[in-house]
Structure 1
Amino acid sequence: MTVCPCCGGKFEGNLLDGCALCGARAVGEPLARPEIELPAYGRGVLVGAIGLLLLLFFTLSTIIALFEQTQLTIGFWPIVSAAETAAWRLKWTVLPFSVVALWGGWLIYASIRRESVRFAGHDLARCGLMASMLVIVMIATFIGLTVPERLRQRALGIYAGVEAQGYTVERALLEYRQRYKTYPTNVKDLQDGLPDRDGSIAAALSNIDPSTYQPRANLANASTAKPGRLRGAALRRASMNNPTDDSVNEKISFTNYEVRLPGADKIPNTDDDWLMRDGVFIKPSKSGPASSGSSAVQTLP
């Protein structure tokens, strides 16, 4: 099958006799293949250039993160910190592209090795593959180095959230006590007994189990004074009452309280609940579950 270079038609025969479709004729025999053919560098240069560009991009991102620091300091740890910042910034862009570049570059490098006569640039392709692999390793390593610190920061954020909720509840309890000279009997009394213009009290009490709020009274400090001597009609009225009822009914004033605050899962009555007792935060103990009413908690330092 011969293809005519003039009209593109395909026919059986020789161009020296003319094209069967357009009549064009070849001016001579086709040129012979050269004895020595130079290999192509295109594939090797492509793989090497992609790897070097990825490495250069990561380096520039590290330099930018270094100059973004509050106080520019050239040293080992500042550079490591800048590289960690760059790794987190590039984790969804450069890292996936580096994986694809490594996979595609390996396929191209394999084709170069199979046809080493036609293609050159083996060293360039190897350098590109090593650069792509180095970028992947560096991003994964620097991200891994920051995981413990980020987990610690996350824990501190959870602690801050629980404490913020607890401080709001404590403020409401103190305002209630200042107004009514006692702590509320239950959570509903706390909500109904105080104005909540900004809704902060309702938000703080929204995920608290009302049954975990326990007010207490120090009965040892209660007044135990007996009434004075009764005379006349008062004595006769007293004699009609139960002779064993010699106490005076008084309204109990709550002086202490205890309430459980939901932990990281925001679900009450779970193992990560915090305990706030008279304004003191007590976080869950790692030694065992902190069920409702249990004492498996430890004071927050």
Structure 2
Amino acid sequence: MNKFRNLLLDVIKNEIKNERSIAIFFSGGTDSLTCLFTCLELGLKPILYTFHLENYISEDVKISQKIANYYDLELKIIIIKKNKDQLITDVKNLVNNYTINNKICLQILYPFPYVLEEVNESLILTGLSADTLYGTNYHSKMKNVKNFNEIRKNLINSDEIDGYISLKKMVKNSNKKLVAPYRNQKIIDFFLIHSWNELNTPLQKNLSYEAFYDYFKKLKVYRESSSLPINSKITEWHQTIFSSKLNTNHRKHLDEIIQDILQDKT
């Protein structure tokens, strides 16, 4: 069997132990799919959770529905209403309660409090941080694997993009356990021995695609990665913050508004 597939199976099996009540933060993208395929290999039928803003059905939701139907899994779709006053409250709560200091983290984590309100399972799987381990197209220009590794290590350790520490705290506050296999040191070490090309050619995230080739071939759901905030139109929705009472200082950048909130200057 494929080495990465075996490793992911071992890591997730050790994390979940005998737990059968499992949820997945699901987008239908490669990373959450690897979590699902691993569960299926372990004989588990997780509950899938996805979301969309009201009046906009994202591609993630459409793909998630297709996958849930194929495997006869329960899919819970959380609809986030676009209420500007509530958006202001949500942003302030996220920034202050989880010390979020940049817009990338804010927009990635924005839907999770809504999703967590609906989760009944005690354990939640996420593919978070896989993007960081795979790197971006920018990193494809790096010939030196050591430099690529240093960037990935720093991003994982600083947690400025993924928001893993904040999400883990959020899940813990909901009396649940977060399992993020791409934060497991064995998985991280495995990725760090591979160059960008080894991970991402001939397809983006080729390591995952080859590991679960039988599943991807059967379902025909492989997609290149897309930004969750952009794909879901969270980025567009958050533009309304600039015309809200959070922007009394007439900032031009969302990161500046976030700093104002942290410093109680709004």
Q: Report the TM-score when normalising by structure 2.
A: 0.19
Greater percentage in helix: 2
Find the structure with the greater CA-based Rg. 1
